[in-house]
């Protein structure tokens, strides 16, 4: 199995980062936008934007790394978990900017991303 889905997901994350940056860039000039520069909602929107780029890059690096290693249950699990992180982290950031209660769900994207990275590292440690 190749990990084309992680490669495509990563580039889609980049697209989401560029699109969200263009959209929120329309309002950055307003000092009071989302409560001002240091406000929690504005910080969450910025974090969601950068999460698209960062987790997109992690998925691309994962897909490229998997071309040099053997496939296993560990890498298949890592693939799914990294994609879950890519989708849920920006989504959770934007939802938290909208409604503060969504902040309690950050364990989902953080845990899935952490789990994906750990699965890849375990694969390298136990691979023959």
Written as six digits, the tokens of 118 are 């750990």
Q: 57 lies in which domain range?
A: 4-126
Is the pLDDT at 1 greater than 60? The verdict is no
Supply the pTM of this predicted model. Answer: 0.92
pLDDT for the residue numbered 111: 98
Average pLDDT over residues 48-66: 97
pLDDT for the residue numbered 128: 66
Q: What is the total count of domains within the chain?
A: 1
Is the pLDDT at 11 greater than 80? The verdict is yes
pLDDT for the residue numbered 51: 98
CA-to-CA separations, 74 to 31, 77, 78, in angstroms, rounded = 47, 5, 6
Helix axes 4-25, 40-65, angle to 10 degrees: 160
pLDDT for the residue numbered 29: 87
């Amino acid at each position: 199995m190749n990990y084309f889905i992680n490669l495509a997901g990563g580039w889609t994350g980049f697209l989401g980062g560029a699109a969200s940056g263009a959209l929120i860039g329309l309002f950055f000039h307003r000092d009071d936008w989302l409560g001002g520069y240091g406000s929690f909602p504005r910080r969450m929107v910025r974090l969601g934007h950068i999460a698209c780029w960062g987790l997109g890059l992690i998925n691309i690096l994962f897909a490229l790394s998997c071309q040099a290693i053997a496939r296993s249950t560990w890498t298949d699990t890592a693939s799914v978990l990294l994609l879950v992180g890519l989708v849920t982290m920006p989504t959770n950031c934007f939802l938290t900017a909208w409604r503060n209660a969504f902040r309690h769900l950050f364990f989902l994207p953080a845990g899935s991303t952490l789990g994906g990275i750990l699965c890849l590292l375990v694969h390298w440690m136990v691979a023959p």
